[in-house]
Amino acid sequence: MFNKKICILTSGGDCSGLNAVIRAAFIKATSLGYEVLGSKRGVQGLGEESGEIVVLDDSVCDESMLTRSGSVLLGNTRRIKNREGELCSKEEEADLFAKAYKKFGLSGVVFIGGDGSIEAIGNIMKFHKDACLNIAIVPKTIDNDVSFTDIAIGFSTVIEVVSESIENIRTTAMSHERVMVVEVMGRDAGFIALHSGIASGADVIIIPEFKCDDEKLLAKIKASYKRKGYCIVVVAEAAEIGDFKHGEVEIDKVTRIKYLGIGDHVVSFIQNGGFDSRLVRLGHIQRGGKTSVADRIIGSGFGIEAVSAIHKNSGVVMMAYSGGKIVSIPAEKIIGSITRNIGKDDIHLKIATELGIYVGET
């Protein structure tokens, strides 16, 4: 019989490596004598009516989890709905979280989430300052836009998946002497485009951080085309070129706004410039694939250290991978400044530029 419990949840969009974190947290927590609960469907699992809390055991947390993308704790909403199915206010959400924490007698929560989810923890702290909660945040997102950590879980796999896709696109680009435009995810940050563009030998990488000049884009395409007879352009979903601004679509109040249109615009622009061009919008294929070794190893490390932080009664902290080490950062430092972008001094930007890739007006 256990007298202490922890709960694990995954919040926000899925990615690779989540299951590696869950498995490692399970192994560490059971070795310290905790019963391990899982909240299904993210924080929604802690909600009163729709909530679903499961007990995790060896049959769920086995080795096959290491390579499997997605989350065994299922589709991950950042928000809690009330009994009537309406979205709770931020304050109600914080109350439900604190109430569930108490009701299940938790010693802590391993909260695996991205920037949006981490901001939600800021609300819990705001409304329940004196609640003495232990929440160990594990940063995850294919977008890699979480501050204070060199890498978020999911990023290493996504750039493998995208780079491999671009390699497949290269042969058709060569055969048909075309300019292939590959639109990738990343929200407001260009990490996926920049890293996978370098890794797959792109000629142009268009990212939200740096304005892309129409004329320089065409000049670069012309030069690459002349040299080898085809061209690869990687464009991030929230990038903008010339006067074109991507469209934004709101699906519902829970889902974040979608960015649309940049890939099509870039293709028309290139076609008007006299080149045969096609768009490949990689979409959600980017969130699957076999989990990379780095996501498995760092994910396992994050899971272990998150449970250790809870065991030490550390309060609300975020795990970070920094300078080759896993460190724990107090929430006060991260809340409110959790999102990051590619800066002018980013080493990968320098690598791309030195390779002759056009990355916009840096």
Among 58, 95, 130, 143, the active-site one is: 143
Please report how many Cα atoms fall inside a 13 Å half-sphere around the Cα of residue 198, on the Cβ side. Answer: 17
**Which of 166, 185, 207, 359 touches ligand F6P by CB under 6 A?**
185
Determine if 161 is a binding residue for ligand F6P (CB under 6 A). no
Q: Please, which residue, 171 or 255, has the CB nearer to ligand F6P?
A: 255
Q: Which of 172, 175, 255, 271 binds ligand F6P (CB under 6 A)?
A: 255
3-state secondary structure string across 16-68: CCHHHHHHHHHHHHHHCCCEEEEECCHHHHHCCCCCCEEECCCCCCCHHHHCC
Residue listed under structure tokens 């490949």: 280
User: Bridge partners of 111?
Assistant: 9, 137
In the annotation, is 264 catalytic?
Answer: no
Instruction: Select the span of 81-89, 141-149, 165-173, 325-333 touching ligand F6P (CB under 6 A).
Output: 141-149
Residue 239 sits in the site that holds ligand F6P (CB under 6 A): no
Q: Is 295 in the site for ligand F6P (CB under 6 A)?
A: no
**What is the total count of residues that contact ligand F6P (CB under 6 A)?**
10
Residues 6+ apart with CB under 8 A from 170: 180, 200, 201, 230, 232
Does 77 bind ligand F6P (CB under 6 A)? Our answer is no
Tally helices (H) and strands (E) across the chain: 10, 13
Site for ligand F6P in 23-62 (CB under 6 A): none
Q: Is residue 127 a contact partner of residue 24, using CB atoms and an 8 Å limit? A: no
Among 6, 13, 269, 279, binds ligand F6P (CB under 6 A): 13
Residue-by-residue DSSP string for 66-132: GT--S-TT-S--SS-B-TTSPBPPHHHHHHHHHHHHHHTTEEEEEEEE-HHHHHHHHHHHHHTTTS-
Could you tell me the two tokens for 322?
Answer: 């920094």
Q: Residue 141 interacts with ligand F6P (CB under 6 A)?
A: yes
Verify binding: residue 146, ligand F6P, rule CB under 6 A: no
Nearer to ligand F6P, 108 or 139 (CB): 139
Our finding on whether 142 is near ligand F6P (CB under 6 A) is yes
Q: Give the binding site for ligand F6P (CB under 6 A).
A: 13, 141-143, 185-187, 237, 255, 287
- Annotated catalytic residues are 143
